[in-house]
Amino acid sequence: MSLFEKAAITGIGETAHGRGLQQGSALSLQMQASLAAIADAGLSPRDIDGVVAMATGAAVAEDFITNFGIPDLRFSATTPMGGASCVAAIQAAAAAVSSGICRHVLLPIGRTGYSGTRIGARVHEMPQFRTIGEFELPLGNIAPAQIYAPMARRHMELYGTTSRQFAEIAVTTRRHAILNGNAAMTRELTIEDHQASRMIADPFRLFDCSLESDGGAAVVVSSADAARDLRQPRVLVMGVAEGHPDSPSVITQRPDMLRIGLAKAAPRAFTMAGVTPADIQVAEIYDCFTYVVLRQLEELGFCAHGEGGAFVENGALGLAGRLPVNTHGGLLSQAHLAGMNHIVELVRQLRGQGAAAQVEGATLGLVTGYGDMGDGSVAIMRRA
Amino acid sequence: MAHDWAAASGRGVVHSWTVCHHPFHMGFKAQSPYVLLTVELDEGVRAMGQLRGLDPARLRLGLRVVVDFEREGDGPVLPIFRPASG
């Protein structure tokens, strides 16, 4: 049985995004965002009968039973794949609602990545990090920027990809954050600003790196049938998949260093959805680093391997470009919520609620997740 | 899956690298910027180590390197790589 159009995203919610906003704990932030998403769907908190709590988000399913008075939570799970978790959770939730286990699954996240536990510090607590921790950390390979940089450098050496092409992604994403209005970064960025920013881990400059921010976001995944009676236009999940790279925990040992989990997930999702990359009108692409966007565009089939640099040039990812990407400002300029904000934005776009950042006439799009050294997830959706 | 231990020659080629400017840990502040090399050893597996004896601007894929070992004070013995001569 395929998950094709068995589930819909029925509610979206988020808090204000920023750095040091003093809006509450990571738990409080995801409660606030969850209540907003549940109200957006036209549901009551007690209607939630499934929760996929995020391993990165400081809450467990029990917190929602307690705080929302959920009388009978029938489904709980986690999808511990770092930044790929949120989109992978759509797959878990779709499987649960389509099999009748439950009807409305809440996917919440809240983080105080700026004022609380810094996101960069989280890596060292993950079991996935043990091998790097033993063999590479003592050499100075400590932070995600350093761990991912050799992939970007190899792409540059093999294909002639340039830092200015990475800058195109950062600049376009910033422009979208400003249009969105609810974003940590509010000042315009130019390619020259990017090129002048300090080097973090070559080839990554400061503006190639995502934010650490405070905020919350949540979505509700409902069975496609249950979604018919709710408040918002239905946004159906047409295709969804997760994938894990070979040598998942150590990039250094990966047979093809550039190959990521999305390479396995993307064909599954497109086949399930019955569409091709040419049908995608808007794409929210996980952007922990600029290069990671470029590489995923290749694996998704928007361009050939090695041609991601040329693909993103000349504002191609802007609202009027060939493929509008990260119309909310992404992790680079809106907020680091492990990509839950990417799901919120895709649904907003497909409903036609994108306001100043709306992609004209968009009714079909996709969202990706990327995390824990290269796990991948992707969901393709359309407005019914 | 069958496996066995084998002694590596310590020789290989540059597979990729990064030049680390921002110290993410105080212990690496004094030596920043430092270069982390990913080396494909002649035996097939890859290893990581800091670069010695070459301007990082001269790095390229496929450059032949050889391992050496360093110990600073009471710290652990760590692998480093230098350009292979000849």
Q: In this structure, what CATH number is given to the domain that contains residue A265?
A: 3.40.47.10
The total number of structural domains in chain A stands at: 1
Best to test chain B binding among A129, A147, A153, A291 (most B CBs inside 10 Å): A153
Q: Are strands A214-223 and A7-14 parallel, antiparallel or unpaired?
A: antiparallel
Name A202's bridge partners.
B19
Q: How far is CA B1 from the centre of its chain?
A: 29
Mean pLDDT across the stretch A310-319? 97
ipTM of the complex: 0.96
**Is residue A377 predicted with pLDDT exceeding 90?**
yes
Report yes or no on B72 lying in a domain.
Answer: yes
Q: Is residue B2 part of a domain?
A: no
Dihedral pair phi/psi, residue A298, rounded to 5°? -65, -50
Which domain CATH number covers B76?
A: 2.40.50
pLDDT for A21: 84
pLDDT in tens, B60-77: 999 999 999 999 888 889
Stretch B34-59: mean pLDDT = 97
Tell whether A186 is covered by a domain. Answer: no
Chain B residue whose CA is closest to A154: B16
Give how far B7 is from chain A: nearest CA, Å: 17
Q: Which among A135, A140, A153 is the nearest to B50, CB-wise?
A: A140
- pLDDT at position B86 is 55
pLDDT of res. A126: 73
Query: By the CB < 8 Å criterion, does B81 face chain A?
Result: no
User: Does the residue A72 lie in any domain?
Assistant: yes
Question: Quick check: A151 and B16 in contact, CB under 8 A?
Answer: yes
**Cross-chain residue pair A139–B17, CB shorter than 8 Å:** no
Nearest by CB to residue A139, choosing from B33, B45, B48, is: B48
- Answer whether residue A66 is part of any domain: yes
In a domain, B6, yes or no: no
A170-219 pLDDT, tens digit per residue, is: 999 999 999 999 999 999 999 999 999 999 999 999 999 999 999 999 99
Q: Does B8 touch chain A (CB under 8 A)?
A: no
* Cα–Cα distance, A250 to A272 (Å, whole number): 30
Exposure of A232 in the CB half-sphere (CA atoms within 13 A):
29
Q: Supply the pLDDT for residue A122.
A: 64
Range of the domain at A359: 7-117+210-383
Q: Which residues contact A59 (CB under 8 A, 6 or more apart)?
A: A26, A27, A30, A53, A108, A110
Residue A98, in any domain of the structure: yes
Instruction: Give the span between the Cα atoms of B28 and B75, in whole angstroms.
Output: 13
Q: Is residue B29 part of a domain?
A: yes
Residue of A57 and A49 predicted with greater confidence:
A49
Query: What is the per-residue pLDDT across A272-308, written as a single tens digit (0 to 9) for each?
Result: 999 999 999 999 999 999 999 999 999 999 999 999 9
A341 closest CA partner among A183, A197, A202, A125? A183
Q: Which two tokens stand for residue B56?
A: 């990082």
Q: How far is A311 from chain B, CA to nearest CA, in Å?
A: 23
Q: Judge: B15–A141 Cβ closer than 8 Å, yes or no.
A: no
Q: What is the pLDDT of residue A58?
A: 83
| Residues A369/A374/A375/A380 CA torsion (nearest 10 deg) | 30
Asked whether residue B15 is assigned to any structural domain, the reply reads yes
Domain annotation covers residue A278? yes
Dist. CA A141–CA A137, nearest whole Å = 5
With vertex at residue A374, the alpha carbon angle to CA A29 and CA A317, rounded to the nearest 5 degrees, is: 75
Contact across the interface for B15 and A257, Cβ inside 8 Å: yes
> Which pLDDT belongs to residue A74?
98
Q: Do β-strands B77-83 and B46-51 pair in parallel, antiparallel, or remain unpaired? A: parallel
**Predicted local distance difference test score (pLDDT) of residue A57:** 66
CB A201 within 8 Å of CB A207: no
Q: Which residue, among A282, A265, A300, has the nearest Cα to A346 in the 3D structure?
A: A282
Cβ of A150 within 8 Å of Cβ of B18? The answer is: yes
What value does the mean pLDDT take over residues B27-39?
Answer: 96
Contacts of B78 in chain A (CB under 8 A): 138-139
More confident site: A128 or A254: A254
- Count CA within 13 A, CB hemisphere, residue B61: 13
Residue A22: pLDDT band with limits 50, 70, 90: confident
Q: What is the DSSP string of chain B?
A: ---------SEEEEEEEEEE-S-SSGGGTTT-SEEEEEEEETTS-EEEEEE-SS-GGG--TT-EEEEEEEE-TTS-EEEEEEEPP-
Distance from C-alpha of A304 to C-alpha of A109, rounded to nearest angstrom: 34
**What range does the domain containing B73 cover?**
11-83
Per DSSP, A314 falls in state: T
Residue B75 lies in a domain: yes
Res. A123 pLDDT band, cuts 50 70 90: low
In whole angstroms, what is the distance from residue B56 CA to residue B63 CA? 12
Per-residue model confidence (pLDDT) at position B72: 83
pLDDT at A55: 75
Is B4 a member of any domain?
no
Q: Among A131, A146, A205, A295, pick the best mutation site for testing chain B contact (most B Cβ within 10 A).
A: A146
Verify cis geometry, omega within 30 degrees of 0, for the bond prior to B33.
yes
How many domains does chain B fold into?
1
Q: What percent of chain A has pLDDT over 70?
A: 97
Q: Which residues pair with B37 in a beta bridge?
A: B17, B49
Query: With contact defined as beta carbons under 8 Å apart, do A34 and A70 qualify?
Result: no
Burial of A118 from C-beta contacts in 10 A (0-12 / 13-18 / 19+): exposed
Cβ distance of A200 and B22 shorter than 8 Å: yes
For residue A119, what pLDDT is reported?
64
CB A262 within 8 A of CB A81: no
Task: Identify the bridge partners of residue B83 per DSSP, sorted by sequence position.
Answer: B65
Share of chain A above pLDDT 90, in %: 91
Q: Do A252 and B46 touch (CB under 8 A)?
A: yes
B79 located within any domain: yes
Q: What's the predicted TM-score (pTM) here? A: 0.97
